[in-house]
Amino acid sequence: MKKIVVLDGYTVSPGDLSWEPLLALGDVKIYDRTSQTDETQVIERIGDAEMVYTKKVPITKNIIDACPNMKFINMLATGYNIIDAAYAKEKGVLVANIPAYGSEAVSQYAIALLLEACDHIGHHSATVHEGKWENCIDWCYWDYPLIELAGKTAGVIGLGKIGRHTAATLGALGMKVLAYDPYPTEEGRAVADYVEFDTLLSHSDVIMLHTPLTPFSKGLINKENIAKMKDGVILINNSRGAIVVEQDLADALNDGKISCAAVDVVSSEPIMHDNPLLKAKNCIITPHISWASLECRERLIEMAVENAKAYIEGRHLNIVNL
């Protein structure tokens, strides 16, 4: 019987979903939370387990060396940069991820962030509940300019599956859609016009980030590239926090170069109290929940179980370090 450890299962299922299909595969221990910084605790909890699941707990060289019985690591996510996958390969440890479990939901959330930036629905609802409407001398009011998207230009940076869903929706809203991606596809051409990166920056009224974190994209939204953008551009990021140099974005928000930003990710999570975006003007921040719909989390557990079954049967499914 395989020994299986889930290091941080709470955010995947805070009690509303069942781990029973995984429990049926072996001797399974599920921890709600494990420290992301205390390697000693991680090593103790893995122990002699052969199969390990992690959502946000890094699996480093030290941990791999300290847990020689570990032969299979599964990210409960698509990105796997918190695992030293190259060293795991050297040690004969397979690393799997869970691709494309939430593409539609993440795209939907990106559009929701954009609509909130344009219409400020949450703000206006709050003011009504606070009594502003009942005490208003006019029959309506708005505290922010309301922005119509039809006829404007959107730039999507990263046109993978999520980016394509977003681009198609932006087109349905009546926007002209530009895209930058180093790997153009016919599917991408069906929903957007591929352009050079600087062209996208200078022509877009709205910029949507849907690129993975790579050496190219890390710090991509910085002072230099913000200067190339249209005055008053709207920026949406529910991809990776480190794509944005947060102080540069805060400065651009405060001086009006960027009219509004809406982000679901930041460089260090949970957000730190000194993150400059917390005090920046016109910045909407949500707590990294684009992926967290019930349907997404159901698929996450289903695919985690399928990855485990494949490993137990000697098959490779979603292995990223072969």
The alpha carbon torsion through 103, 104, 109, 114 (nearest 10 deg) reads 100
CA distance 108 to 166: 7
Catalytic residue among 196, 224, 269, 295, which? 269
CA distance 257 to 66: 50
CA distance 104 to 173: 17
Asked if 33 and 58 touch (Cβ cutoff 8 Å), the reply is: no
CA distance 23 to 1: 11
Asked if 284 and 117 touch (Cβ cutoff 8 Å), the reply is: yes
Asked if 34 and 7 touch (Cβ cutoff 8 Å), the reply is: yes
CA distance 281 to 254: 5
The token duo for 100 is: 């494309």
**Residues linked to residue 221 through DSSP beta bridges, in sequence order:** 244
> For this structure, is 288 an active site residue?
yes
Catalytic residue among 124, 164, 240, 297, which? 240
CB-based burial label for 131 (10 Å; 0-12, 13-18, 19+): exposed
Asked if 250 and 220 touch (Cβ cutoff 8 Å), the reply is: no
Catalytic residue among 45, 210, 288, 297, which? 288
> For this structure, is 269 an active site residue?
yes
For residue 30, the surrounding DSSP H or E stretch is strand 26-30
- Give me the active site residues, please: 240, 269, 288
